[in-house]
Chains A and B, each alone.
Chain A
Amino acid sequence: MTLIHLTAEQARAIADSAEQPPMALDPRTNKAYVLLQSDVYERARPLLEKPAQPPDSEPRAQIAPLMLQSMQAFWRELPELLKQKSKSRLWVGYHADERVCFGPDDIDVYQECFRRGLQRGQFYVGKIEVDETPPWGTLNGDWSLYESTANDEQASARIV
């Protein structure tokens, strides 16, 4: 592994960085590098060297049972809810299999659930609109952010 010695200014910039791990940029190729401490890298190394796995094989955290039951009730009744949709019925709350209330805004439904003594995680507030993915399902997203620094002066000198 090649060892590159940082200048004092670069070392200071890394130490002062609010973003951890800090990043460095090669102004010639415009490639960004993440600077990891060697012990952190060694810990992450098995992950980096592991062949990519499809998303479904990754471990999932568990949705709270009451929340999941509430979501499932919402999803089950959504076709019927769509028929009842109006200006005052844009959002709906479920606690397990029980429909708590409708509301024109999600905040109205939340407040009514709180008023009834329900805690966060014990109920689900859903918007009454056509949706192709159930609330507990896996959405598909693209994180698009690409950071070009071509126009930035001193781009290579200091990362804060």
Chain B
Amino acid sequence: MRILDRLPILDRRTSEKFDGKYVTIFHDQIPVWVSIHLAGESQPEANIPRIPALVDTGNNFDFSIQHRHLRDWAGIDPALLPLLGDIAINERIVHCHQASVWLYPNVPGKREIAHDKLPLRLRMKKGIAVYPRDAVPPGPRIPLLGVAALLNNDLDFWLDPELRHVSVETRTWRRRMIRLLRRL
């Protein structure tokens, strides 16, 4: 199943609009659309807010978000998410809460959500990192989807630097084929 299909990586700054708000996406960033849910839900809630996140390939945790973004953007009261443990991010303790994150497919070649396709539930084995409300600095400007989320959910990540796009898909026969071809 292809989740991100030739998602463009633009060489200029743009703004993404959601729920009447705008966020800046700088050049060479990979914005995706996600929603956050209580853990254990088998289907995403119909009217759950879809919020932007950045794919951060140097981030070794699955998902990180500010307390304020979780509450105001994602529409979830952080107090509803059971505490699991914590993570020291750049020497700052950030609590990890039990939750699931759904990743929305894009219209092929565009940044818009493909509303006719089902989102993919990302398992957050260690929870999501929620920067506390009074954190200084406050945490990521936009929620971050770390490379660990791709690894832990067995997702293929393919970046085409020539065409400046990225694709993400669940495991298919192609992975084995490409691995075989690389050996030749």
Residues of A within 8 A of B (CB): 16, 18-21, 23, 34, 44, 47-48, 52, 54-55, 58, 60-64, 67, 71, 106-107, 110-111, 113-114, 120-121, 125-127, 133-145, 147-149, 151-155, 159-160
Contacts and interface: CB of A to CB of B under 8 A. Distances in A.
Given A47-B136, A110-B40, A121-B82, A139 B88 contact: yes
Interface stretch (B10-18, B110-118, B156-164): B10-18
Contact of A55 (B15, B56, B80, B92): B92
B21 interface: yes
27 contacts: A16-B22, A18-B21, A18-B23, A19-B141, A21-B138, A47-B136, A55-B88, A55-B93, A106-B40, A107-B42, A126-B125, A135-B84, A136-B84, A136-B85, A137-B85, A138-B85, A142-B90, A144-B58, A148-B27, A149-B13, A149-B26, A151-B12, A151-B27, A152-B26, A155-B13, A159-B24, A160-B22
A116 B53 CA distance: 35
Contacts of B134: 44
Given A23-B141, A155-B13, A160-B23, 9 more contacts: A52-B91, A63-B83, A67-B84, A120-B82, A135-B84, A138-B85, A141-B59, A143-B59, A148-B28
B86 interface: yes
Contacts of A127: 123, 125
Nearest to B58: A144
Interface in B39-79: 39-40, 42, 54, 56-61, 64, 68
Contact of A114 (B24, B40, B95): B40
B138 A107 contact: no
A142 B89 contact: yes
Nearest to A152: B13
Label chain A's interface by main secondary structure: loop
Interface of B: 11-13, 15, 21-24, 26-29, 38-40, 42, 54, 56-61, 64, 68, 80, 82-96, 98, 121, 123, 125-126, 129, 134, 136-138, 140-142, 144
A120 B98 contact: yes
Contacts of B89: 141-143
B38 A120 contact: yes
